Chains A and B, each alone.
Chain A
Amino acid sequence: MHNKNITIALAGNPNSGKTTLFNNITGTRQKVGNWPGVTVEKKEGIVSKHGYDLKIVDLPGTYSLTPFSVEEIIARDYVLEECPDVLIDIIDASNLERSLYLATQLRETDCKVIFALNMADVARTRGLKIDAEKLSELLDLPVVFTIGNKNEGIDTLLQKAIELAESESEISQKRRVKYSKDIENSITKLQRSIEKKIAGKLPYNSRWTAIKLLEDDRIVKERVVQKAGDNGQDIIQEIQELRKKLIDRFHEEPEMVMTDERYGFIAGIIKEVLTTSQKNRIDISRNIDLVLTHRFIGFPIFIFFIWAMFQLTFSLGAYPMDWIDMGVGGISALFESFLPDSLLKDLLINGIIAGVGSVIIFLPNILILFFCIALFEDTGYMARAAFLMDKIMHLIGLHGKSFIPMLMGFGCSVPAVIATRTLESEKDRILTILITPFMSCSAKLPVYIILAGTFFSAKAGTVIFAIYIFGIIAAFISGRLFRFTLLKGADAPFVMELPPYRAPMLKSVLIHMWDRGKMFLKKMGGIILIGSVVIWALSAFPRNIQYSVDYSAEIAGVNALYEAEIKTAARTADSFGMKSIEEEREAAISKIKLAQDAEKMEKSFMGRIGKKFAPLFAPLGIDWRGGVALLTGFVAKEIVVSTMGILYAAEEEEEDALQKTIISSGMTPLSALSMMIFVLLYLPCIATIAAIKHETGSLKWMFFSIAYTTSLAWVAAFCVYQGGRLIGLN
Chain B
Amino acid sequence: MLLSEMKEGQTGIIVHVGGNGALRRRILEMGLINGTEIYVEKYAPLKDPLELILKGYHISLRVEEAAQITVDNVVNSLKENLR
Where the two chains meet, the residues of A that have a C-beta atom closer than 8 Å to any C-beta of B are 63-64, 66, 68, 94-98, 101, 128, 255-256, 259-260, 263, 276, 281, 286, 289, 293-296, 298-299, 383, 387-388, 390-392, 394, 490, 493-500
Q: Which of B41, B65, B80 contacts A493 (CB 8 A)?
A: B65
Q: Which of A95, A98, A392 contacts B46 (CB 8 A)?
A: A392
Interface residue? B23 (CB, 8 A)? yes
Are A259 and B49 neighbours in the complex by a CB distance under 8 Å? no
Are B23 and A296 neighbours in the complex by a CB distance under 8 Å? no
Q: Which of B24, B28, B31 has the most CB of A within 10 A?
A: B28
B28 nearest CB across to chain A (Å): 4
Are B24 and A494 neighbours in the complex by a CB distance under 8 Å? no
Q: Which of B29, B30, B56, B59 has the most CB of A within 10 A?
A: B29
Residues of B within 8 A of A391 (CB): 44, 46-49
Residues of B within 8 A of A295 (CB): 42, 45
Residues of B within 8 A of A499 (CB): 57-58
Inter-chain CA distance A494–B23, complex, in Å, is 9
Interface residue? B10 (CB, 8 A)? no
Are A259 and B60 neighbours in the complex by a CB distance under 8 Å? no
Residues of A within 8 A of B61 (CB): 494-495
* Minimum CB distance partner of B51 in chain A: A498
Which 9 A-B pairs rank lowest in CB-CB distance, beginning with the nearest?
Answer: A391-B46, A498-B58, A494-B62, A259-B28, A97-B55, A391-B48, A493-B23, A64-B29, A95-B57
Are B45 and A298 neighbours in the complex by a CB distance under 8 Å? yes
B37 nearest CB across to chain A (Å): 12
Residues of A within 8 A of B45 (CB): 293-296, 298-299, 388
Are A101 and B60 neighbours in the complex by a CB distance under 8 Å? no
A295 nearest CB across to chain B (Å): 5
Are A98 and B55 neighbours in the complex by a CB distance under 8 Å? yes
Are B48 and A390 neighbours in the complex by a CB distance under 8 Å? yes
Residues of B within 8 A of A490 (CB): 23
Inter-chain CA distance A394–B46, complex, in Å, is 12
* Minimum CB distance partner of A281 in chain B: B80
Q: How large is the interface on B (under 10, 10 to 19, 20 to 34, 35 or more residues)?
A: 20 to 34
Residues of B within 8 A of A500 (CB): 58
* Minimum CB distance partner of A262 in chain B: B29
Residues of A within 8 A of B42 (CB): 289, 293, 295
Are A495 and B33 neighbours in the complex by a CB distance under 8 Å? no
Are A495 and B44 neighbours in the complex by a CB distance under 8 Å? no
Residues of A within 8 A of B60 (CB): 383, 387, 494-498
B46 nearest CB across to chain A (Å): 4
Residues of A within 8 A of B22 (CB): 68
* Minimum CB distance partner of A263 in chain B: B33
* Minimum CB distance partner of A264 in chain B: B33
Interface residue? B2 (CB, 8 A)? no
Are A493 and B25 neighbours in the complex by a CB distance under 8 Å? no
Interface residue? B73 (CB, 8 A)? no
Inter-chain CA distance A298–B51, complex, in Å, is 14
Residues of B within 8 A of A390 (CB): 44, 48-49, 62
Interface residue? B27 (CB, 8 A)? yes
B1 nearest CB across to chain A (Å): 20
Q: Which of B24, B28, B58 contacts A260 (CB 8 A)?
A: B28
Q: Which of B33, B34, B61, B79 has the most CB of A within 10 A?
A: B33
A20 nearest CB across to chain B (Å): 18
B72 nearest CB across to chain A (Å): 17
Are A394 and B24 neighbours in the complex by a CB distance under 8 Å? no
* Minimum CB distance partner of B21 in chain A: A490
Inter-chain CA distance A95–B51, complex, in Å, is 17
Are A256 and B24 neighbours in the complex by a CB distance under 8 Å? yes
Q: Which of A256, A289, A394, A494 contacts B25 (CB 8 A)?
A: A256
Are A68 and B25 neighbours in the complex by a CB distance under 8 Å? yes
Provide 28 A-B residue pairs closer than 8 Å at the C-beta atoms, listed in order of the A residue.
A63-B26, A66-B25, A66-B29, A68-B26, A101-B31, A256-B24, A260-B33, A286-B79, A293-B42, A293-B44, A296-B45, A299-B45, A383-B60, A388-B45, A391-B48, A394-B62, A493-B27, A493-B65, A494-B62, A494-B65, A495-B23, A495-B26, A495-B30, A497-B59, A497-B60, A498-B59, A499-B57, A500-B58
